[in-house]
C-alpha cells in the first residue's frame, strides 16, 4: 500500500462503494435458485443486480464531483486523483445502465472483483506479515466492507422497488 495518507483514503472510498457487491451478488443468486419459471420479484432480482451496481457507480461519481467542487479544472482533477486507475475503473460501473452490458450479469461481478481483491490482499498481508502490518488497516477494511454491503443492498432494494412500481403501473394502465 502507498505510504500516502490521501491515497489510502481514496482507496477506502473506492472499497466503500464497490467491495461488497460480490457477496450481494452471491446471496441474490442463491436466493433466486434455479427456478426461472416462477414469477415474482425474487426471480427478477438477479437481472436487476447490474442496475443496482450502476446506481452505486452513480453515487460514487456524485461523491467525486462533490469532492472536486467548486474547481472542476483539469489540473485540480489531476491533483486530487491519488489512484486514477482505480477511480476510473470504479466510474466504469455507470456503464451498467446500458442494457446490452447489463444483460451479462457476470460482467458486473468481474468488475467488482477488482475491489474485492484489494480487501482480500490486505487480509493476506496481515496474516503473513503480521509484525510489520498495522491491524487498524484490517479493522478499517472490515468496517468499510460492512458499509459497502449495506450500500449495495440498499441500491438493490431501491432498484427492486422502482421495478415493482413500474410493473404495477404498467399492469394498472393496461387494465384501464
165: in domain: yes
- CA–CA dist 105, 110 (Å, integer): 9
Structural domain count, the chain: 1
The size of the chain, in residues, is: 176
Whole-number pLDDT of residue 133 = 59
In a domain, 79, yes or no: yes
pTM of the predicted protein model: 0.86
* Beta-carbon count within 10 A of 101 CB: 15
Taking only the tens place, the pLDDT of each residue in 6-34 is 888 888 899 999 999 999 999 999 988 76
Does 39 map to a domain? no
Residue 1 pLDDT grade (very low, low, confident, very high; cuts 50, 70, 90): very low
User: pLDDT tens, 99-112?
Assistant: 999 999 999 999 99
**Residue 60 pLDDT > 80:** yes
Is 126 within the bounds of a domain? yes
Q: Give the CA dihedral 155, 158, 162, 165, nearest 10 degrees.
A: 150
Write out the residue range of the structural domain in which residue 142 sits. Answer: 5-34+44-175
Amino acid at each position: 500500500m502507498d505510504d500516502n495518507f490521501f491515497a489510502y483514503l481514496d482507496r477506502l472510498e473506492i472499497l466503500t462503494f464497490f467491495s461488497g457487491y460480490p457477496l450481494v451478488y452471491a446471496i441474490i443468486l442463491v436466493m433466486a435458485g434455479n427456478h426461472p419459471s416462477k414469477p415474482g420479484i425474487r426471480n427478477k432480482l438477479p437481472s436487476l443486480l447490474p442496475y443496482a451496481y450502476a446506481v452505486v457507480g452513480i453515487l460514487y461519481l456524485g461523491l467525486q464531483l462533490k469532492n472536486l467542487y467548486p474547481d472542476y479544472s483539469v489540473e485540480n482533477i489531476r491533483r486530487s486523483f491519488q489512484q486514477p486507475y482505480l477511480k476510473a475503473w470504479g466510474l466504469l460501473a455507470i456503464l451498467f445502465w446500458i442494457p446490452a452490458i447489463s444483460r451479462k450479469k457476470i460482467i458486473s461481478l468481474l468488475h467488482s472483483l477488482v475491489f474485492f481483491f484489494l480487501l482480500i490482499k490486505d487480509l493476506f498481508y496481515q496474516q503473513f506479515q503480521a509484525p510489520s502490518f498495522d491491524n487498524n488497516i484490517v479493522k478499517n477494511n472490515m468496517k468499510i466492507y460492512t458499509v459497502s454491503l449495506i450500500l449495495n443492498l440498499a441500491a438493490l432494494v431501491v432498484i427492486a422497488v422502482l421495478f415493482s412500481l413500474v410493473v404495477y403501473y404498467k399492469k394498472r394502465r393496461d387494465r384501464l
